[in-house]
Each structure stands twice: as C-alpha cells, then as structure tokens.
Amino acid sequence: MEAVDLAREVMAALFARAEPLVVRHLRNYPLPEFDPERFASPLGRVASERYLRLLREHEPSFRPKAVHGRRVIPPIVVLGTSRSAESLRMHALFGPRIAWTLLENQRGNAHADYCLDVTAVGSDTASALLEYWWEGKEPSDHGIQEAYDTLFHEALHRLCDLANPFGPQYGPKGGAKEHYWMEEYEPFASHVERILVEHLAGGRERGALRRRLVAAV
C-alpha cells in the first residue's frame, strides 16, 4: 500500500510541475475523426490545429474542460501486474471473485495500461520504481527515468478522459493519437523530459519507501 501511495504522490508532483504546459497542450488534442497517421505528420498537425481553432471560435463546447489538481490521479492504481487495465476492471476489481481465465495481458511493449480510472503498472516499471524508492539507486540507471515517464503519462491518460470535450478516446485509432499527442508531439515531449530530469535530480523519492516503512516499525 505504501508503494501505491508513493506512485500516486509522484503522479501528482509531476503533474503539478507540468500543469500549465499540459493545459496549453490540451488545445492540440485532435478530433476523433482525424486520421492518426495524418496527425503524426507535421502537415497533419498544422491542419488539425487550424481546424480546432476554427471550431472553437464558433462553438465553445469544443474547448477542453478544466481539470485541476489531484483529479488527474487515477483512483485505482495496481502496481506490478502484467494484466491489462480493461480486463482487471471487468473481471477482477469490482466483482466478488476474480475471473482468472478472462484476464488479458498488456501489450508486449507496454510499460503500463490505463482504462476508465484504473491504471495497471507493469512489472518492469514497478521493479525500476522500487529500485529507486527502496534501494536508492541512481535515477540515471535501471530505467528509473522511463518509469517516472510512465507514471506521468498514466496521469495524462486520465486527464484526457476527463478534459477531452469529445469524451474518452479508446480503440486503436484513438490510442495511437493519444500516445502521439503525449509522447512525440513537439515541443511538448521535450518539455516533459526536462521536467522529469529536474524532478529526479531533486532526489525527493530516492529511498523514500524504505525510510517510511522503517519509521513505521
């Protein structure tokens, strides 16, 4: 439980640092109808931004909704699982029994998975976090910055669900656009990387889990 609480604290701290940047970037979130391959090109991004500006000039409902503070933190965080958030939500978290045969794995290259208020943090990401929070390893080693990047993006997934005027965007096309908007859309992606580096340089959570549990004994 302490590790889950710390994961949620990290999400909140990173989002607080990035909130002004994220709020501006929400204006660039594409329409559901926009093709993901076109959105991933420079000309496509320009066309998407221009179209969104025109829509918002005439219809305020196309503007992103305001979402502040800890509302962006997923209410349920499962740390160290290979299962998808969707299958955990449907077959494990809200019923009297776990339907083990119906649980599905995350995509092969996924570090975590999010679905409707549930974040499932993969085992490799959880291991890297524990090496930093318990062992006090250097943040430049062992995939720790990548793990923090994953936590930050899980908060962004929930933000998109709450702030997107078109509602949550799931499925292959919606997921592709959302990941591009988060991870590759410049200059947003580079700004996020700097925020992560600066946060880790502060060393706030390095060895924090060990200190908390020792103090609680």
Task: Report pLDDT digits (tens) over 48-88.
Answer: 999 999 988 888 888 999 887 789 999 999 999 989 999 99
Helix (H), strand (E) at residue 91: helix 85-91
Lowest mean pLDDT among 10-14, 40-44, 123-127: 40-44
Whether the pTM exceeds 0.75: the reply is: yes
Residue 176: count of CB within 10 angstroms of its CB? 16
pLDDT at 86: 92
Flag whether pLDDT at 179 surpasses 80: yes
- Supply the DSSP symbol for 44: H
pLDDT band at 89 (very low <50, low <70, confident <90, very high): very high
Flag whether pLDDT at 146 surpasses 90: yes
pLDDT at 207: 95
pLDDT at 69: 74
Is residue 13 exposed (0-12), middle (13-18) or buried (19+ Cβ within 10 Å)? middle
pLDDT at 60: 87
Mean pLDDT of the chain: 91
Buried b (16+ CB within 10 A) or exposed e, 91-117: bbeeeeeeeeeebeebeeebbbbbbbe
Peptide bond into 187 cis (omega under 30): yes
Distance in angstroms (rounded) separating the CA atoms of residues 12 and 14: 6
pLDDT at 110: 80
Q: Which positions ≥6 away from 149 have C-beta within 8 Å?
A: 192, 193, 196
